[in-house]
Amino acid sequence: MVRSHGILLLIIRTLAIIHIVQAQSQQGFISLDCGLPANEPSPYKEESTGLQFSSDATFIQSGKTGRIHPTLASRFLKPYTTLRYFPDGTRNCYNLRVEKGRNHLIRARFLYGNYDGLDNNPTFDLYLGPNPWATIDLHKLVNGTREEIIHIPTSNKLQVCLVKTGPTTPVISTLEVRPMGNDSYSTQTGSLNLFFRLYLSESKTTLRYPDDVYDRQWTAYFWREWTQITTTSNVGNANDYEPPKAALATAAIPTNASEPLTLEWSNTDKPDDQYYLYRHFAEIQDLRSNETREFNMVWNGELMSSDPLVPDELEITTILSLTPRTCAKGECSFQLKRTNRSTLPPLLNAFEVYTVIQFPQSETNENEVVAIRNIEATYGLSRINWQGDPCVPSQLMWDALNCSHVDISTPPRITSLNLSSSGLTGNIAAAIQNLTLLEKLDLSNNNLTGEVPEFLGNMKLLLVINLSGNDLNGSIPQSLQRKGLVLSLEGNPRLFPSGSPEKTHKKTLLVPIVASVGSVAILIAALVLYLVLRKKRQPTVEVVLPPPSRPTVNVTNANSPEPSIETKKRRFTYSEVIKMTNNFERVVGEGGFGVVCHGTVNGEQVAVKLLSQSSTQGYKEFKAEVDLLLRVHHTNLVSLVGYCDEGDHLALIYEFVPNGDLRQHLTGKGGRSVVNWGIRLRIAVEAALGLEYLHIGCTPPMVHRDVKTTNILLDEHYKAKLADFGLSRSFPVGGESHVSTVVAGTPGYLDPEYYHTGRLGEKSDVYSFGIVLLEMITNQPVIDRNRRNSHITQWVGSELKGGDIAKIMDPNLHGDYDSRSAWRALELAMSCADPTSARRPTMSHVVIELKECLVSENSRRNTSRRTDSLSSTEVSMTFDSGMIPRAR
């Protein structure tokens, strides 16, 4: 039965996965005992868990230490008996190093414990970077509370901030960060806020590390109308979620075998919350030949899947929602109902529920944060409110700054810096030049010495500079004598105008640029002549999108408009190219650039791409491809063996990729085999990984600009490798997410937003990749003028209205595919090909989604399984555990 693409379930069965975080290892863990006194050892081992806790002193620059009341200390583990409190400042922040783009569990615990003897439980806000995370109200939660999220940081730095909102003082007991696997807990948008995490057992033991390799905390939960079943056998828990084996060794079944197993909860304070559910099942009873356990899952009275579940014997099955779910008026009900053919009641071993939490506000431009921190360090500034993000939220903006805010998705930029009368000494900090959008700079009335730096004049957006009242010396740079700049220098007796050492400026200087009318006329005439001649030399092309003008191929002479390639590494002579190709004996491909010949270098097969004299690909593209491929290395990018740049002879020598391009393996042309759905998904994952590397793994980041099926090559094992980087361009990081460039690319794959605006960014590649995905799914031409809907996105959009995936999928697959993965891949492709770039996912998100599609397809093909040994330990906790469902 084909289901609506809006209702998707992924069944993740046991996978043979080598996990990043192995059992018993705390690699990457951050475990901070907040307020640990300086005279106590750090780090130390917490006995019941074996976790290594450290003092938080080096992670925060403010706050004071305290200890909960002695009468309460015996109720809590050691890390929770101390705390840090913040009587000064509005926002106080922890600064943590994390791995950008990787899932992390972030958990903070708060316990007042009457540390100050005032018996006044505080209320305050918790922030993650510039975004609100939670309100901590210890008036209501007198036994303490925890906040926990699963979150993917967008940089290598993470800030957890406590924000004072009233008369009471914020406190924190522990702060913990756990890196997790990236193939789990993915969301369409936002992060996951823990609602509850249970294992169904009559035990009173709370499970966490070392039972749980990620140190998730599992609360034992049971209901009187249930019956507990257990096993002493080893239960395999090896999948992307890997809950504790001890949690899977117990399960609940309804005592009345004909009744459903039901969990209900109410969240009327937040009725619009969205939920992600993670259900962990394992058959732990030894069933007889005539016994069957089969059941359906029901959410708020509606069947969640048309396929009933039969749990695997002593092996984990994890079922999750790929899209978030909601509850009417905040009243939620989850049920397991046995089918008519089942002889046994349903069972449930463990259950996780998360709500979606959005962190939409972008952090301040990363380069500018580094710059302002360097300025702070240069001058030894110590300001209580210089914590957290410099610009956002606006009510907590650092003093001395003004910032620009375009929208919440765009990183703010610093536009004004006022450090007047701040006791500054030494030279003007070089880091100021990295505040590239700075409009106003006030360093007046300090004790600055040295010369006025040239870079101030090169900051073209800087309109006001106040350096008065310092002890600067030397000449004023010529670059500061420009029209429109307000420059204040009075009170610097040793500072002189450029070329006039005898005069001192004592007033604000307005320095215009003076140019003769005759000079301007000559410049204008020269410019007009250049443009006319350049237009005459422009080549005419028949495609809708004209490529940029190109220099002649022979550009190695001194008057060449393009510099020759600087590096001499892997450079071959033309005679060596002739020899390696046996005088160009075997042609294996041909395109607008010229021909590709087979060759050998040191016994290894290579492909030699020869640039012909009539090629539309000029030296600029040739140089771009060489420069890029000489500095990037990734298993899913075609490797450059070398190049030839000798007079008129230009050639690129690549590794030989014998299986042709992806397009051939979709159509079967050229005698190529048509690849199945599982291989297509793997190829898509590998191509996405190559693009992700270009976008976030390169410095500076790169945009491919010509992603298409003919530029995805396949090796002998059908491993995907991106090729043809002649149009690739670097793009800025931080606040500017695009560059302006002449539009180039292949019609049909070209980002319409880029085509209309000329603004290039990484999302342009995402669009092209979405088109590639649609080709892989449908095997339809990207543009077909004979179709009513000529572009592939239009055709798919019209077919989607029918809701039948079979009419969209490539008929060459003959229905041999997992419909869940097909729907998910299709939704992802259409999301990538959204006409508005802001609504497209990043390549990192694309990789995550495609990996889960591949897992779903592989599950259908009975992926291998593995088991691990059982380990267990008991942990005592008395914190309020938050929401617990009702059961019946």
Q: Tens of pLDDT along 161-215?
A: 999 999 999 999 999 999 998 789 999 899 999 999 999 999 989 999 999 999 9
> CA-to-CA distance for 711 and 310, rounded, in angstroms?
43
pLDDT at 340 over 50: yes
pLDDT at 873: 28
Q: With bands split at pLDDT 50, 70 and 90, how would you rate the model's confidence at 311? A: very high
pLDDT at 843 over 70: yes
- CA dist 536 → 62, 73, 614, 621 (Å): 66, 85, 18, 21
Q: What is the CATH number of the domain that holds 421?
A: 3.80.10.10
Q: With bands split at pLDDT 50, 70 and 90, how would you rate the model's confidence at 591? A: low
Q: What is the CATH number of the domain that holds 811?
A: 1.10.510.10
User: Annotated binding residue at 506?
Assistant: no
* Residue-wise DSSP of 209-237: TTTSTT---BEEE--TTEEEEE--S--B-
Q: For tokens 């006039």, what's the residue? A: 500
Q: Of 446-450, 613-617, 754-758, which range is least confident? A: 613-617
Q: Are residue 710 and residue 823 in the same domain, yes or no?
A: yes
pLDDT in tens, 282-292: 999 999 999 99
Are 691 and 719 in contact by the 8 Å Cβ rule? The answer is no
Of 706, 724, 765, 834, catalytic: 706
Angle between helices 819-832 and 762-778 (to 10 degrees): 140
Q: Which residue has the higher pLDDT, 37 or 864?
A: 37
Q: Please report whether residue 865 resides in a domain.
A: no
> CA-to-CA distance for 101 and 261, rounded, in angstroms?
38
Angle between helices 762-778 and 677-692 (to 10 degrees): 170
Q: Please report whether residue 228 resides in a domain.
A: yes
Burial category of 561 from C-beta neighbours within 10 Å (exposed 0-12, middle 13-18, buried 19 and up): exposed
Most distant CA pair in the chain: distance in Å? 107
Q: What is the CATH number of the domain that holds 597?
A: 3.30.200.20
Q: With bands split at pLDDT 50, 70 and 90, how would you rate the model's confidence at 887? A: low
pLDDT at 11 over 50: no
Range of the domain at 834: 662-860
Q: Please report whether residue 783 resides in a domain.
A: yes
Q: How far apart are the first and last CA of the chain?
A: 32
CB-side neighbour CA atoms (13 Å) of 690: 26
pLDDT in tens, 452-482: 999 999 998 999 999 999 999 999 998 898 8
pLDDT in tens, 258-268: 999 999 999 98
Helix (H, G, I), strand (E, B) or coil at 577: helix
| Mean pLDDT confidence for 505-519 | 41
Chain length of the chain: 888
| Mean pLDDT confidence for 251-273 | 95
Which of 339, 357, 375 corresponds to the end of one domain? Answer: 357
Task: Name residue 162's amino acid.
Answer: L
pLDDT at 885: 78
Q: Are residue 594 and residue 505 in the same domain, yes or no?
A: no
Q: Please report whether residue 191 resides in a domain.
A: no
Q: Are residue 277 and residue 384 in the same domain, yes or no?
A: no
Are 127 and 133 in contact by the 8 Å Cβ rule? The answer is yes
pLDDT in tens, 59-76: 999 999 999 999 898 889
CA 684: distance to chain centroid? 18
Q: Are residue 279 and residue 132 in the same domain, yes or no?
A: no
Q: Which of 489, 528, 387, 515 is nearest to 90 (CA)?
A: 387
Are 553 and 618 in contact by the 8 Å Cβ rule? The answer is yes
Q: Which of 326, 196, 322 is nearest to 274 (CA)?
A: 326
pLDDT in tens, 377-404: 999 998 999 999 999 999 999 999 999 9
pLDDT at 516 over 70: no
CA 414: distance to chain centroid? 24
Interacting residues of 405 by C-beta distance below 8 A, sequence separation 6+: 391, 392, 394, 412
Q: Are residue 635 and residue 698 in the same domain, yes or no?
A: no
Helix (H, G, I), strand (E, B) or coil at 82: strand
pLDDT at 527: 54
Q: Is 272 a catalytic residue?
A: no
Which of 182, 210, 228 corresponds to the end of one domain? Answer: 182
> CA-to-CA distance for 432 and 341, rounded, in angstroms?
73
Q: With bands split at pLDDT 50, 70 and 90, how would you rate the model's confidence at 640? A: confident
Q: Which residue has the higher pLDDT, 568 or 469?
A: 469
Are 283 and 347 in contact by the 8 Å Cβ rule? The answer is yes
Q: Please report whether residue 542 resides in a domain.
A: no
> CA-to-CA distance for 720 and 638, rounded, in angstroms?
9
Helix (H, G, I), strand (E, B) or coil at 795: helix
| Mean pLDDT confidence for 309-316 | 96
Q: What is the CATH number of the domain that holds 277?
A: 2.60.120
pLDDT at 590: 75
Q: Are residue 174 and residue 202 in the same domain, yes or no?
A: no
Q: Which residue has the higher pLDDT, 88 or 885?
A: 88
Are 161 and 296 in contact by the 8 Å Cβ rule? The answer is no
pLDDT at 23 over 80: no
Q: Please report whether residue 9 resides in a domain.
A: no
Q: With bands split at pLDDT 50, 70 and 90, how would you rate the model's confidence at 500? A: low
Burial category of 237 from C-beta neighbours within 10 Å (exposed 0-12, middle 13-18, buried 19 and up): buried
Q: Are residue 170 and residue 245 in the same domain, yes or no?
A: no
Question: What is the chain's alpha carbon radius of gyration, rounded to the nearest angstrom?
Answer: 32
Which of 182, 207, 225 corresponds to the end of one domain? Answer: 182
Q: Are residue 326 and residue 380 in the same domain, yes or no?
A: no
Q: For tokens 């060596």, what's the residue? A: 576
Q: Are residue 394 and residue 497 in the same domain, yes or no?
A: yes
CB-side neighbour CA atoms (13 Å) of 159: 23
pLDDT at 539: 37
pLDDT at 221 over 60: yes
Question: Long-range contact list for 519-525, CB < 8 A, 24+ apart?
Answer: none
Q: Please report whether residue 547 resides in a domain.
A: no
| Mean pLDDT confidence for 710-737 | 73
pLDDT at 420: 95
Helix (H, G, I), strand (E, B) or coil at 435: coil
Positive or negative: CA dihedral 185, 187, 190, 194: negative
| Mean pLDDT confidence for 824-849 | 92
**What is the pTM for the complete model shown?**
0.59
Q: How many domains does the structure of the chain reveal?
A: 5
Q: Are residue 205 and residue 316 in the same domain, yes or no?
A: yes
Q: Which residue has the higher pLDDT, 611 or 318?
A: 318
| Mean pLDDT confidence for 685-713 | 87
pLDDT at 880: 47
Q: Are residue 229 and residue 277 in the same domain, yes or no?
A: yes
pLDDT at 107 over 80: yes
| Mean pLDDT confidence for 306-324 | 93
Tokens (6 digits) for 283: 């058959």
* Residue-wise DSSP of 650-694: EEEEEE--TT-BHHHHHH-GGGPPPP-HHHHHHHHHHHHHHHHII
Average pLDDT, the chain: 83
Q: With bands split at pLDDT 50, 70 and 90, how would you rate the model's confidence at 791? A: very high
Q: Of 3-17, 19-33, 89-103, 260-274, which range is least confident? A: 3-17
Q: Are residue 609 and residue 692 in the same domain, yes or no?
A: no
Strand ranges across the sheet with 331-338: 302-303, 295-299, 331-338, 261-266, 886-887
Q: Please report whether residue 871 resides in a domain.
A: no
Residues of the chain with pLDDT > 70, as a percent, come to 82
> CA-to-CA distance for 205 and 197, rounded, in angstroms?
13
pLDDT at 775 over 90: yes
Q: Of 275-279, 385-389, 739-743, 832-836, which range is least confident? A: 739-743
696 secondary structure, DSSP code: I
pLDDT at 382: 87
Phi, psi of 492, rounded to the nearest 5 degrees: -120, 85
Tokens (6 digits) for 45: 């081992």
